[in-house]
Every structure is written in structure tokens, then in C-alpha cells.
Structure 1
Amino acid sequence: MDDYRSLNRANWDERAPAHAASPDYALDRFREDPEHISGVVRFDLPLLGDVSGLRGVHLQCHIGTDTISLARLGARMTGLDFSPAAVEQATLLSDELGAGVDFVEADVYDAADVLPNEEFDLVFTGIGALCWLPSVSRWAEVVQRLLKPGGRLFIREGHPMMWALADPLPEGRLELFFPYFEREEPMVWDDDTTYVETDHVFEHTVTHEWNHGLGEIVTALLDQGLVLETLVEHDSVPWDAFPGWSEELPGGEHRLADRPWRLPHSYTISARKPRP
């Protein structure tokens, strides 16, 4: 089971510099405009609210564009990722921009062992993170340990119903094909592409991933004593999840072009750790 870490880490180590060079991550926009924030964080703002003055940690932060965006909104941010290549790219960008974000290399399950416990006002997890973890319960325990009393988890993630679908059939029908619920055995993928524009030819193509049902995610947080404040399902995601079958919306979101109301594409959860 632990082999999934080395396989997935090799995959992300190779993707980090390619993503940093891709126009889709828009690092030049960050350099040119000191007020620019990522499309992911811009989408989150209505539900995320004011983060100025908060001490925050972004788990599975990748190359740091969302982390730096939160810092530009006034939060004192730390980013954590298991990929040394991603941490290197994030640190270079933060230093270049003077963003003041600290980036830490560690597996997300070890975050509460390498970061101070009960000192964060905000734990942020961006979209496309939970699918890399075999146990959502272990993740929820880490979140609880990091949050200070009164602190808040904020996560937007791809919806498990979307992850469970195969590519649309020729007539546009949607087929439930992959697991919806968390299973011990991973889904094994061998894919030499990535979700952004790049000319890089990838060598580390095998990954292990897991789906987690929405009820499993909510229950894991409730089991840790967190109080659910927000659960919102969305009809879009910030990448082209169904090439050839989707439409792009203003702001860079994508959704099914044909009757998008059939499918929850993503969801947002906000949960708070009670004060004593």
C-alpha cells in the first residue's frame, strides 16, 4: 500500500516544473499583477469570505499558486506538499513575488507531526487533492489536529459522482463505471497526459487514486468533532473534465455542455472546530 506514495510522488515531481511553465497556471500573471489571484481561489471567495489576518495552512498545495493567492488576500499562509519538486517551484515563486509564504515538504498524513497543532485559523484544501489519499478518515484527523478551537476547514473538491463516471458515451449518456465509495484497493491509472497545456513528454505515468463518497467525507469530519457549516454542490470544475463534451464558462470553469444539471461536478465544504 505504501508504494502509492513513491509512484504518485514521482508523477507529481515530474509535473511540477511542467505545470510551472504552463500558461494555464499563469505564473506570469502573478508576476505582472500584484493583485492577481488564481481562478480557483477567485471561485471560492463568495463562500470562503474574508481571510485577512488568519493563520492558514494549505494542504497538498502543489506549486503554490492558490496558497500565494490566499496570502495576497491577507492570510499568513503555510503550504505543504509531499513533492520536493512542487515545494521547490512554490518557494521560488513566493520568494520572487515577496509573498512571504513558507512551504514545507511532507506527506499530508504527517502534516500534524511537522506543523504546530491547534494553531491554524484556516485549513485550506484545494480541488483535486483528496483523490490521492487512501483514507479520508486519516485526513480528517490531521485537519482536526491542525485547527485551533474556532478554526475552520475550507475545501472545494471534485464531486465523487463526477470521479465515478467514465467518459461520456457517443450519444452523450453518462455511465457510472468507477467506484463511488472509498475502497481499500486503488484505481490504477497509466496516463502520459496532464490537465494543463504542456509540450513535456512524461515518463512517470502510473498513479494510484481513490474516490471518497460525499457521506464518507462529511462523516469523517463529524467523527473528529467538527461542525459542518456549509455543504454546496456546484455544476462546474476548473478544468476540462470531459474533453469534447464540455463547455467553458467565464472565469475558466468547465461543465457538461449537454444538460449540466444532471451532474454535480464539485462541492464545497466548510466545517469549524468548536471552542471548548
Structure 2
Amino acid sequence: MTDYRALNRASWDDRAPAHAASADYRVNDFADDPAHLSDVVRFDLPLLGDISGLRGVHLQCHIGTDTVSLARLGATMTGVDFSPASLAEARRLSRLAGNPVEFVESDVYDAAGKLGGGGFDLVYTGIGALCWLPDIRRWARVVAELLRPGGRLFIREGHPVLWALSDPLPEGGALTLEYPYFEQAEPLVWNEGGTYVETDAEFTHNTTHEWNHGLGEIVTALIDAGMSVTGLVEHDSVPWEALRGHMRRVGNDEWQLTDRPERLPHTYTLQAVRTAV
């Protein structure tokens, strides 16, 4: 059986330096402006609330722009990722920004074993993370294990309806459900040479394995893991041009379907609390 982790890790290792060097991630702004936050975290603020003094862990943190932003909001943050190249960029960013963050190399399923269970007030997961995981129930158990009783999960993620759409859209721009909405045992296998930021870099590791997870599957997995869902908000924007040529920029570096965006849930924010044990 192909090791999906090795394939996906090689892809992220290949792309991390290009992401850090791109204008899209605005790494230098963290050094130039001590109040700068990533656009993703800035969008999250109204629902995220005050996190000062909390001990937080950011799962699948990539190059750390969101992790450092959370640290700037007063949380003591640990970032977790399985890509050593991504973590090298994240540690460099933390030094440039002047915000100390601990970064730990680990597969997300091994995070509780690496960090210890029950010690965190906040588990944060950002855009484009869950699609790399084959088993959402196993993920939910890790989240619950990391949190202390009363600790909170905060995740904003691409909506599974968006992930299920044909991309690129067919001629005429009709929204067409092409890929599985529900989690499948077998991955979607992609072979794509580019990446989602503007870059001239060329990559050699281009095969990835991905999975979709239905919203009901995610909510049920968290409940079964001992979490109580406290909020679920669906949004009509996404922080990248997910459907190229069919979206418009709408502010805060968010993108929205140009034609009748009310038809499509673009992203969602889900919050849950670990119940007392």
C-alpha cells in the first residue's frame, strides 16, 4: 500500500520554501509590523474571541503564519506539522516576528503522544487541513485527547461541498458535484505540478492523496470523541481563489463565487468543547 503520509510530506516539503517566499503569505509583514496578523486569523477574530493566556496547539500549522498570529493575540502556542521543511520556515518566521512559538514535528494522529494529553485550552486548525487525513474519527479522538476538560476546538475549513465540486468548473461555470462528499476508504489521487500561491518555482513531488469529510461526519466524530459542539457557522467566502476564473475578491483577501454566491457554502467555522470526564 502506498504511504500517503510520505507522498504528501514530500509535496509539502517541496513547496514550503516557495510558500514562505511568496507575496501571498506576507512573511516580511510579520517582521515589519508587530501588530500584523494573517488574513485567516483576522477573519477568525469575531468568533475566536479573547485567547490571551490560553495554552494552544495549532494542528497542521504549515509555515506558521496563523500560529504566530495566535501567539500575537496572547496565547502560548505550539505548532504541529509533519513537514520538516514547513517547520524550518515556521521557526524562521517566529524569530523574524519576535513571537516565540514551539514547533513540533509530528503526524497529526501522533500529536497527543508527542505533546501529552489533556494539557491544552485550545486546539486550532485552519483552512485546508482535514483533506489530508483519511480518518476523521481518529482526528476527533486526537483533538479530544489534547484538550483539558472544558478546552475548546476552533476550526475554520473549506466546506465539503466546495471540495466536492468539479475543478476546474465545466464550460459555462455550472457548479457540478464531481468528487465524493462523504469520506471514502480510498483517497483522491492528484498529480499537479503547481501550488496555490504565485511562484516561479518548479516542483518534483507532485502526487498527493486527499479525502473529503462530510459535515455530519465531522460533527458526529467530535460528539463520539466526548466533545460538545458549541457553534457551527457556514460562510460565503474562502481565503483563496478556490474556483479559478469564477471568483471575485471581496476583502480581507477572501474570495467569493462571482455568480450567485449564495448557492455555495464556501467555508465553515466549527467550535466544540471537551466535556468533563
Normalised to the residue count of structure 1, the TM-score between the two structures is 0.98
Superposition deviation, residue 73 in structure 1: 0.3
1:233 paired residue number = 234
Secondary structure, counterpart of 2:205 in structure 1 = coil
* Identical columns (%): 64
1-structure distance, mates of 2:2, 2:51: 36
Contact 2:22 2:197 in 1 (8 A): yes
Superposition deviation, residue 197 in structure 1: 1.0
In the alignment of these two chains, the number of paired residues is 276
After superposition, the Cα gap between the structure-2 partners of 1:2 and 1:104, relative to the gap in structure 1 and judged at 3 Å, is farther
2-structure distance, mates of 1:47, 1:60: 20
2-structure distance, mates of 1:216, 1:93: 35
Written as runs of structure 1 = structure 2, the 5 A alignment for 1:147-186 is: 147-166=147-166, 167-186=168-187
Written as runs of structure 1 = structure 2, the 5 A alignment for 1:78-157 is: 78-157=78-157
Superposition deviation, residue 169 in structure 1: 2.1
Matched, 1:196 2:197: yes
CA deviations 1:23-62 (Å, max 9, x no partner) are 1000111110000000000001111111100000000000
1:246 paired residue number = 247
1:206 paired residue number = 207
Contact 2:31 2:98 in 1 (8 A): no
Written as runs of structure 1 = structure 2, the 5 A alignment for 1:33-72 is: 33-72=33-72
1-structure distance, mates of 2:63, 2:172: 38
Q: Please tell me the residue identity of whatever aligns with 1:91.
A: R
Q: Please tell me the residue identity of whatever aligns with 1:46.
A: P
2:222 paired residue number = 221
CA deviations 1:122-167 (Å, max 9, x no partner) are 0000010000000000100000000001100000000000000003
Matched, 1:273 2:274: yes
Superposition deviation, residue 119 in structure 1: 0.7
Deviates more, 1:77-86 or 1:168-177: 168-177
Q: Please tell me the residue identity of whatever aligns with 2:192.
A: D
Matched, 1:15 2:7: no
2-structure distance, mates of 1:59, 1:133: 12
C-alpha RMSD over aligned residues: 0.8
Task: Give the gaps of 5 or more residues in structure 2.
Answer: none
1:4 paired residue number = 4
2:259 paired residue number = 258
CA deviations 1:80-121 (Å, max 9, x no partner) are 000000111101111232211000000000000000210100
Contact 2:58 2:124 in 1 (8 A): yes
Q: Please tell me the residue identity of whatever aligns with 1:210.
A: W
1:25 paired residue number = 25
Normalised to the residue count of structure 2, the TM-score between the two structures is 0.98
2-structure distance, mates of 1:126, 1:173: 28
1-structure distance, mates of 2:40, 2:56: 17
Secondary structure, counterpart of 1:88 in structure 2 = helix
Secondary structure, counterpart of 2:251 in structure 1 = coil
Secondary structure, counterpart of 1:23 in structure 2 = coil
1-structure distance, mates of 2:255, 2:95: 32
1-structure distance, mates of 2:96, 2:252: 26
2-structure distance, mates of 1:172, 1:208: 26
Q: Please tell me the residue identity of whatever aligns with 1:131.
A: C
